[in-house]
Amino acid sequence: MRLLPALVFGMLMLPLAAYANDPDSYAQPDQVRVTHLDLDLTIDFPHKQLDGLATLKLDWMNPKAQSLVLDTRDLKIARVEALAADGKATPLSYALAPRDKQLGSKLTIVTPKHPAQVRIVYTTSPEASGLQWLTPAQTSDRKLPFMFSQSESIHARSWVPLQDSPAIRFTYHAHVRAPTDVRVVMSAINDAKHPLNGDFSFDQPHPIPSYLLALGAGDIAVKETGPRSAVYAEPSVVAKAAHEFEDTEKLIAATEQLYGPYAWDRYDILVLPPSFPFGGMENPNMTFATPTVLVGDKSLVSLVSHELAHSWSGNLVTSAAWRDIWLNEGFTTYVQGRITEAVYGRALADEEALLSAHALQKSIGAMPANAQKLAPDPRGIGADDALSDVAYDKGSWLLRTLEQRFGRDNFDAYLKGYFRHFAFQSITTEQMLGYMKPNLIEKYPGKMDMEEVKAWVYGQGIPKNAPLPDSPRFNAIDRERTDFLAGKLAADKLDAKSWNTQEWMYFLDRLPDVAPLDKLQQLDAAWHLTGTPNAEIGMRWYSHAIAAGDKAAWPAAAEHMVRIGRLYLTTPLYKAFVKTPEGLAYAEQVYAKARPGYHPMTQQAVEGILAKAKAAKH
């Protein structure tokens, strides 16, 4: 990608040519744009594939354009056709380029007559990077197979041929066939009462980018949580999930009060099997969520606050390229905190903000210089790599700074106007700054200047004057941790009976990277951390135990790694194990057992950790 045009304050829309060279897409939206997708799919569980027919409605931008260029990855193309207004199909010539490891294969369709619609008949690969196929044994209820998609960042191209760039938004209609005992859901309005007849139809009337295209199918039950919300999950999980997420309607109402009406009609949640690689995915109308947040006490429902917040920041106003993904994730993490505060109180919101800020402070210095920037230099960061703690936590920290400088009421009014102004658009960092200058910086002079804002956006690290909230409970935990490590306070005398999940996370996060083994053994004897059902605590605990050489914790750590496919909760344990030869060998054994249940993204990440460790040995 070439450098984006120089910032012109007050310019609210950039020409589409500004997005034409998205380095993560072969698409050429300055030539032609996809505006609507008609998708016809058959889910083939035995062969782990989708048989697809994708009809793309096109808006030709350049009258001299000779071709339609699409993104694909590992798709088998059967034929490509132009569709006339009367439905008559005419074959089109096409070429599928050799596979690029990162971007997949460019599909070039020869279209000198500029058809209004192009239809592609294709089949996905069993190894599609954006799909996971689970056998009944890999699900919670062990009765039916399960499949789900994960299109972010550039994995939609592995199950639909399209312009796979966040700059390009389209509406869609889908018709999906599946076995008659399977429920199918998508990132559209879902009918909780739809019969399990093997025939499902979906409409998404709002224009969305390709990474928000989502599909799931399996033994899925439904339980309503409010007039416009429901939980979808396997039958054995659905009641527990509905209880955990029973405040969903409160969360929606709280966000509407802050930032304006919810634009998507319904907000449902699909709780996936444990192999889902992320905490949640903000697919419109239906968040896909990890079961690791189902701990029984609602202590991790900030995940719902986060994915719901995306209905404003990300789904409504979208980053135009992965380089700008902080516009999605940083804004969403800030809004998440405001939702959590409104529903569960300021103390919890502050604790979560401190946890993320401290983690970023610890990690950012080891990152490459370009990766430390909210808006990195072009081509420096790949699409998947852009989804880092910098985008989430440095981005939200900037917004908390703006709130503090301009006052909450003024900043809320600004943010509400921002969402309204750019609704259903994909924008760049420069467009966001261009809107901010007259509508915040100049509207309230003397609070913060644009140079300081741009230092946050384009600079490395975290500004020294970045504000942090205060947490009296965290301060007390700091004192107890210090006394415990100094031998002044026994493990069983820690005031931990009242600690919530976040407070345990904070206590463990601030232990030394390699804590004394005897201290960890005392903690475990007092608080029974080995075997914890809470995955957030478990990830931290096992990482410390492995680093300290506590082999007694290895079997429980292995069980955690096999059971959970969420990247954030699993890869730290592999990283801890591979630091010693014996640990590396053990990690390879665990991975051999865990691999069949991992998502392709998790497999790739773990295999990278193991390969790097083995290379370092030689």
In single-letter form, the type of residue at position 586 comes to: Y
Query: In 49-180, which residue ranges form alpha helices assigned H by DSSP?
Result: none
Euclidean distance between CA atoms 86 and 376, whole angstroms: 48
| Closest to 463 (Cα-Cα) out of 519, 405, 527, 515 | 405
Q: At a CB cut-off of 8 Å and minimum separation 6, what does 555 contact?
A: none
DSSP 3-state of 179: coil
| Closest to 188 (Cα-Cα) out of 199, 202, 178 | 202
| Closest to 71 (Cα-Cα) out of 99, 93, 38 | 99
CA dist 72 → 75, 91, 147, 157, 291 (Å): 6, 19, 20, 4, 30
Q: Catalytic pick from 234, 307, 341, 352?
A: 307
| Closest to 574 (Cα-Cα) out of 601, 598, 608 | 608
Q: Exposed, middle or buried: residue 175 (CB in 10 Å: 0-12, 13-18, 19+)?
A: middle
Q: CB-side exposure of 580: number of CA atoms within 13 Å?
A: 12
Euclidean distance between CA atoms 2 and 5, whole angstroms: 9
Q: At a CB cut-off of 8 Å and minimum separation 6, what does 311 contact?
A: 255, 262, 263, 264, 267, 282, 284
Please say whether the dihedral angle defined by the alpha carbons of residues 141, 147, 148 and 154, taken in this order, is positive or negative.
positive
392 is catalytic: yes
Euclidean distance between CA atoms 190 and 210, whole angstroms: 19
Residue 239 main-chain phi, psi, to 5 deg: -65, -45
Q: At a CB cut-off of 8 Å and minimum separation 6, what does 261 contact?
A: none
CA dist 376 → 368, 457, 543 (Å): 11, 9, 31
Q: Exposed, middle or buried: residue 490 (CB in 10 Å: 0-12, 13-18, 19+)?
A: exposed
In single-letter form, the type of residue at position 108 comes to: T
Euclidean distance between CA atoms 81 and 68, whole angstroms: 12
Q: Catalytic pick from 392, 586, 591, 598?
A: 392
Q: What is the distance between the terminal CA atoms of the chain, rounded to a whole angstrom?
A: 37
Euclidean distance between CA atoms 310 and 320, whole angstroms: 15
DSSP 3-state of 102: coil
Active site residue ranges: 307, 392
